[in-house]
Amino acid sequence: MKSLRNSVQLIGRLGKDPEIVELSSGKKLAKFSLATNESYRNQKGEKIEETQWHNIVAWEKKAEFTTEYLKKGMEIALEGKLVHSEYESANGEKRYTTEINMNDVVMVGSKS
């Protein structure tokens, strides 16, 4: 059961091309957004579609892979873990963010 702790699996489409950043430590990270869609019918029988946006972070070799092979609109499946962060904005307000630290990715569909 250890492998189930803090594990996230998503299938969705990239909202933008991954952007790579090299930190002062020399480590590389890539960031991109992933849209997941869900549809259902409401009580009136109308089809309702909902989109959730997820912030994804990939490190080192995975970062290089994402920037080389993944493009906006591609459908992918990924596995990772949730990471919650807190930081202070320039005007002193506390801000919170949730990202998914990507462990594995598979290209499952073609670009729409």
pLDDT in tens, 23-40: 999 999 999 999 999 999
Residue 46, amino acid: E
Task: Tell me the three-class secondary structure of the chain, residue by residue.
Answer: CHHHCCCEEEEEEECCCCEEEECCCCCEEEEEEEEEEEEEECCCCCEEEEEEEEEEEEEHHHHHHHHHHCCCCCEEEEEEEEEEEEEECCCCCEEEEEEEEEEEEEECCCCC
What structural domains does the chain harbor?
Answer: 2-107 (2.40.50.140)
pLDDT in tens, 43-75: 999 999 999 999 999 999 999 999 999 999 999
The pLDDT-based confidence of 10 (bands split at 50, 70, 90) is: very high
